[in-house]
C-alpha cells in the first residue's frame, strides 16, 4: 500500500484514481473494526468540528455521518435548511461565510444543486464532503457499495454489476458507475428507456431495457429507489407497470445466480423495486451496506479531515 491520501475534499468518484479508491477501502477495514470494540470511539478527530449541512432532507445519510464523526471524537453540528427558501449562488456564498465564522473543520454537504460542494470546497479551508449533490454524485454511497461488494466477493474486477431503476436522476448510480468501472467491473444499466438514456454508454457501460436478460449473468444487482414521491409520472406509466417490467419480484429473483448479491441504497419501497422476501433474503446485503456506510464515512472523515489544512 504505497498510495497516500492528499485530498482535503471528497466531491465525487469521477476524479479519484483506482488507487485512491482502494486506499479508502483499505482504510475502511481498520475503521470497521472500531465498531466491534468494547469502546467504539477513537480520538482521531478530537477537537475538530464537523458541520452536517443538509439542504435536502435525509435521515440515514446524515445520521451515518453524525455517528461516524462522533466515533472519531469530533464535535458535530447539524444544520438543515429547506431548499425552497434558498437562492443557490448567493446563498452558498453566505453559507461559506457562516461556516468560516464557526471555525468548522469539516463540512458535510447535501444539496439539490450539482456542483454545490465543489463551489464551497474552492472557497473554504475546511474539508468538504459531498453527501449528495443534485443528480451529480454521492461518493460515500458508492464507496460503501464498493466496500460491501469487495467484502462479500473479495474482489471487484471482473464482476458483472447490474444497476436497476431511475438512472437518469440518480447520483448514486453515477458515483457507482465511476467507481465500478475504475475498479474493473462490468456495469449494465437497466430500466425504462426514459430513465436510462443511451447516452450513458459513452461512460463505458452497457444499457438494457430487459431485466430478465440481465439478471442470470449478474454477480451484483443494485436496485435504486423509485422516487415516486417526486411524481415523475411522465417517465413511466405507473408503479404497477414498473413492478411488472423491472421490480425484483420473488418470481424474477429465481433467475439470479445463487451467489448474486442484492443491494439497495435504501430506504426500500417493499413491493416496488424489491419484494420483501428478497429484501430480507439470504442474497440481500442491504443491512451490511448500512453498517459499512458508517465505517466508510469514518475512513473518509479521517482521511480528509485528518490532513492539516
Question: Interface residues with other proteins (CB under 8 A)?
Answer: 1, 4-5, 27, 29-31, 33-34, 37-45, 47-48, 72, 105, 299, 302-303, 305-309
> Least distance to other proteins from the beta carbon of 146, Å?
18
Rounded CA separation 63/58 (Å): 9
Cis status of the peptide bond prior to 232, with omega within 30 of 0: no
Chain CA centroid to CA 116, Å: 17
Rounded CA separation 225/172 (Å): 10
Cell numbers 480520538 correspond to 43
- Count of Cβ atoms closer than 10 Å to residue 199 Cβ: 9
When the beta carbons of 203 and 307 are compared against other proteins, the nearer one is 307
When the beta carbons of 29 and 259 are compared against other proteins, the nearer one is 29
When the beta carbons of 41 and 270 are compared against other proteins, the nearer one is 41
When the beta carbons of 32 and 182 are compared against other proteins, the nearer one is 32
Rounded CA separation 107/277 (Å): 39
> Least distance to other proteins from the beta carbon of 132, Å?
25
> Least distance to other proteins from the beta carbon of 57, Å?
31
Rounded CA separation 223/203 (Å): 20
When the beta carbons of 8 and 252 are compared against other proteins, the nearer one is 8
> Least distance to other proteins from the beta carbon of 73, Å?
10
> Least distance to other proteins from the beta carbon of 9, Å?
15
> Least distance to other proteins from the beta carbon of 64, Å?
18
Strands (E), the chain: 49-54, 75-80, 106-111, 127-133, 160-164, 186-190, 206-208, 220-223, 261-263
Half-sphere exposure (CA, 13 Å, Cβ side) for 21?
A: 28
When the beta carbons of 29 and 213 are compared against other proteins, the nearer one is 29
Amino acid at each position: 500500500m504505497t498510495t497516500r491520501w492528499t485530498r482535503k475534499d471528497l466531491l465525487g468518484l469521477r476524479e479519484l484514481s483506482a488507487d485512491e479508491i482502494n486506499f479508502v477501502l483499505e482504510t475502511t477495514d481498520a475503521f470497521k473494526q472500531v465498531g466491534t470494540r468494547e469502546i467504539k470511539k477513537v480520538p482521531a478527530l478530537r477537537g475538530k468540528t464537523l458541520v452536517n449541512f443538509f439542504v435536502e432532507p435525509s435521515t440515514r445519510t446524515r445520521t451515518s455521518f453524525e455517528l461516524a464523526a462522533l466515533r472519531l471524537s469530533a464535535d458535530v453540528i447539524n444544520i438543515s435548511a429547506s431548499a425552497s427558501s434558498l437562492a443557490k449562488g448567493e446563498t452558498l456564498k453566505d453559507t461559506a461565510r457562516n461556516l468560516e465564522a464557526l471555525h468548522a473543520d469539516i463540512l458535510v454537504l447535501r444539496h439539490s444543486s450539482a456542483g454545490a460542494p465543489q463551489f464551497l470546497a474552492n472557497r473554504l479551508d475546511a474539508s468538504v464532503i459531498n453527501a449528495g449533490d443534485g443528480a451529480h454524485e454521492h461518493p460515500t454511497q458508492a464507496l460503501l457499495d464498493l466496500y460491501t461488494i469487495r467484502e462479500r466477493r473479495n474482489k471487484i474486477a471482473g464482476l458483472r454489476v447490474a444497476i436497476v431503476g431511475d438512472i437518469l436522476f440518480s447520483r448514486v448510480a453515477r458515483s457507482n458507475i465511476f467507481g465500478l468501472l475504475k475498479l474493473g467491473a462490468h456495469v449494465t444499466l437497466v430500466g425504462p428507456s426514459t430513465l436510462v438514456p443511451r447516452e450513458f454508454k459513452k461512460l463505458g457501460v452497457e444499457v438494457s431495457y430487459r431485466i430478465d436478460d440481465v439478471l442470470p449473468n449478474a454477480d451484483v444487482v443494485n436496485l435504486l429507489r423509485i422516487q415516486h414521491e417526486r411524481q415523475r409520472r411522465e417517465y413511466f406509466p405507473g408503479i404497477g407497470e414498473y413492478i411488472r417490467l423491472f421490480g425484483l419480484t420473488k418470481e424474477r429473483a429465481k433467475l439470479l445466480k445463487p451467489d448474486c448479491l442484492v443491494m439497495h441504497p435504501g430506504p426500500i419501497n417493499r413491493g416496488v423495486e424489491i419484494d420483501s422476501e428478497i429484501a430480507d433474503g439470504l442474497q440481500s446485503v442491504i443491512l451490511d451496506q448500512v453498517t459499512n456506510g458508517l465505517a466508510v464515512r469514518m475512513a473518509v472523515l479521517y482521511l480528509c479531515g485528518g490532513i492539516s489544512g
